[in-house]
Structure 1
């Protein structure tokens, strides 16, 4: 019985909230006796983890400016995870896109890795993370050694589960290991409650840093939506560039007095007034703000009810990145919001082309603008079909399915 097994769950760092963190909470629900191990824990930014039993590495004792900086802590992460002692555990589950898979376990301990992706800045996205050729050249020897270590670390799990077919392909390519796919869980019951709350006539979002201009009947309130961590590989810059190229700043009407707060509407594709709303935080935030024109609104730290409200009223969710899975595309479809996505990565597996979304082939401003024009031609049909079949499609990725598959696999591997 799994209830009698001593289980540990490791994750790279517990310092934010996102789709992966929802997976961690589901694992905690599945294995309430489990202890969590991580490099460091930020209780302020990860308040969702306050009820978890968390053990941290020596990085937790570093000064704040070091432990909270990925760059400053970078050389210490491999040692942090290799220093953990899992001698007394029967099962260890590592959830990782970086270092947590490198843990060392005894022969009698079952180590299962739930792989979010092979480490992007070492394999698939080196140029995005290190765009400067000189810096990349100076770091080449170090990155080569780190890739060798990462490959060795990837051989340590007894079994690897990938979060999508896309990640399974990367795992085979970079780590030379086969893996099976179990998609991350989507909590239907939870999001049904959110949807019910939004339907209440009394609900209005209380934005922390913007006026209430995103209500359905607000003048100029049409908007495209981006929900993403603001990191280089997410390519949020593409959407900003697409808007800038589509409508020169000089052609826009004079913005109203509150334009600085939310962004003046611009013309996209067919000339309709549309805003771009970007929800998220990350290392690229300030850079994106500096390059964004006045039709872009940045929001962060939203509740799920506020986020659901955005999905419910958006023109479409834009996903210009190659996602490992694309959890937000499930959220959008659940609320009947069409998805416009780059035709690579997890989104291509879970969005139904022509039914719940449309795809573009290349990560370029031209291709994205073509997709926006295509959307404008089919948007009424696309919105209708997304509302009709979006939730049914999402049910294929339910939390119940995830729990059953994950537990059955562990039972099989443990027997």
Structure 2
């Protein structure tokens, strides 16, 4: 393909969106990556070999508080000016699509989700100061939504990471979006027998509902490993029982080891897609997931996992018990995960971008 530029919200964590940005960078190794801020020690090391271009936000002394800078992100991405490339691909869950592509560029947005803090109050309204912060910014939300929707309307092509997000894009932006599931490096894992401990891999944010898993595991005395970091950490430690272990942010090899040795992986949030659930299945482990959102697309009930539909300890404990009773062999569970390989992602994304380029060319003839 021609000259490509990549835009990403921020490179300061090891989440699913960052894995997508890394895969995009692997597809187009010479493509520069534009982002609001970059913390090499906090994200995937492979980005250090790429050309990363940041905004003035990169100079501010913020780490955990980077989400509080939301009033500045539109200005930061506008400061980048028009990005000059044949194809500009924004990996966006709220900000990267605000960057402007040069008029002759095909502007593609790979949408992880429309901004949760704009269109889903749960993101900031979980508890404590988050709820207060959401109340404080409510008067400005209409203006931010207008800026957000105007930016979305400038894109030539929206691509959703799941049917779940495709529906959100349709409702929020009134845009049609083909679905290309994100790349999951399933070959990192091998199916293994179940262990003894539950596992959660998540950013520790209110809308992820890690507290529910901790309370349920503590109530019935199950061992639980929690992988991830975030502003909820202190509160979660306070409610955790003696069999809950917090590992913080860990490297990829530790994620593989914990996943392959666990009993069941629990996903309590309403996921946009659910990359952790796919990784769990790649290791042959059943998934217990909240029965809404992207998990419905990545987990097959009764075969590779169990859904719970009420966020109560009782419902979650029942689902964990049901998952224990599943008789699906680990290799069969793992086979289900291979539908989401990086090769499949690359093929499908290239197809939709090539089609958009061809349609644009035919309109201009």
Same fold? TM cut 0.5: yes
User: Contact between 1:279 and 1:298, CA under 8 Å: does it hold in 2?
Assistant: yes
2:32 is the counterpart of 1:35: yes
Q: Matches of residues 388-403 of structure 1 in structure 2 within 5 Å?
A: 388-403=331-346
Q: Mark the CA change 1:302 to 1:108 in structure 2 (over 3 Å): closer, same or farther.
A: same
- For residues 346-372 of structure 1, what are the alpha-carbon distances to aligned partners after superposition, in whole Å with 9 as ceiling and x for unaligned? 111111111110111122222212212
Q: Aligned residue for 1:61?
A: 59
Q: Mark the CA change 1:353 to 1:27 in structure 2 (over 3 Å): closer, same or farther.
A: same
* Selected match of 2:74 from 73, 78, 98: 78
Superposed displacement of residue 329, structure 1 = 0.9
Superposed displacement of residue 126, structure 1 = 4.2
Q: Aligned residue for 2:362?
A: none
SS in 1 for 2:30: coil
Q: Aligned residue for 1:409?
A: 352
SS in 1 for 2:118: coil
Larger radius of gyration, structure 1 or 2? 1
User: Contact between 1:242 and 1:365, CA under 8 Å: does it hold in 2?
Assistant: yes
- For residues 210-237 of structure 1, what are the alpha-carbon distances to aligned partners after superposition, in whole Å with 9 as ceiling and x for unaligned? xxxxx96xxxxx2111111111111101
* Selected match of 2:293 from 345, 369, 387: 345
Superposed displacement of residue 53, structure 1 = 0.4
Q: Mark the CA change 1:333 to 1:87 in structure 2 (over 3 Å): closer, same or farther.
A: closer
User: Contact between 1:333 and 1:386, CA under 8 Å: does it hold in 2?
Assistant: no
Q: Mark the CA change 1:308 to 1:137 in structure 2 (over 3 Å): closer, same or farther.
A: closer
- For residues 116-136 of structure 1, what are the alpha-carbon distances to aligned partners after superposition, in whole Å with 9 as ceiling and x for unaligned? 001111112347536466654
2:235 is the counterpart of 1:290: no
Q: Mark the CA change 1:372 to 1:390 in structure 2 (over 3 Å): closer, same or farther.
A: closer
Aligned length in residues: 355
- For residues 31-59 of structure 1, what are the alpha-carbon distances to aligned partners after superposition, in whole Å with 9 as ceiling and x for unaligned? 11200000011122123311110001111
Superposed displacement of residue 104, structure 1 = 1.7
- For residues 273-292 of structure 1, what are the alpha-carbon distances to aligned partners after superposition, in whole Å with 9 as ceiling and x for unaligned? x3011111112111211221
Q: Matches of residues 307-326 of structure 1 in structure 2 within 5 Å?
A: 307-326=255-274
Q: Distance in 1 between matches of 2:284 and 2:122?
A: 36
User: Contact between 2:126 and 2:206, CA under 8 Å: does it hold in 1?
Assistant: no
Q: Distance in 1 between matches of 2:223 and 2:294?
A: 26
Q: Distance in 2 between matches of 1:134 and 1:49?
A: 35
Q: Distance in 2 between matches of 1:109 and 1:294?
A: 55
Q: Aligned residue for 2:214?
A: 240
Q: Distance in 1 between matches of 2:329 and 2:87?
A: 41
Structure 2 runs not aligned, ≥5 long: 359-365
Q: Distance in 2 between matches of 1:281 and 1:119?
A: 21
2:178 is the counterpart of 1:180: yes
* Selected match of 2:99 from 88, 96, 103: 103
Q: Mark the CA change 1:276 to 1:21 in structure 2 (over 3 Å): closer, same or farther.
A: same
Q: Distance in 1 between matches of 2:72 and 2:329?
A: 46
User: Contact between 1:355 and 1:386, CA under 8 Å: does it hold in 2?
Assistant: no
Superposed displacement of residue 139, structure 1 = 2.5
Q: TM-score, normalised by structure 2?
A: 0.91
Q: Distance in 2 between matches of 1:395 and 1:116?
A: 20
Q: Mark the CA change 1:304 to 1:135 in structure 2 (over 3 Å): closer, same or farther.
A: closer
RMSD: 2.2
User: Contact between 1:130 and 1:136, CA under 8 Å: does it hold in 2?
Assistant: no
Superposed displacement of residue 88, structure 1 = 2.6
Q: Mark the CA change 1:72 to 1:323 in structure 2 (over 3 Å): closer, same or farther.
A: closer
Q: TM-score, normalised by structure 1?
A: 0.80
Q: Distance in 2 between matches of 1:357 and 1:126?
A: 25
Q: Distance in 1 between matches of 2:313 and 2:186?
A: 35
User: Contact between 1:236 and 1:320, CA under 8 Å: does it hold in 2?
Assistant: yes
Q: Aligned residue for 1:152?
A: 150
Q: Aligned residue for 1:9?
A: 6
Q: Aligned residue for 1:212?
A: none
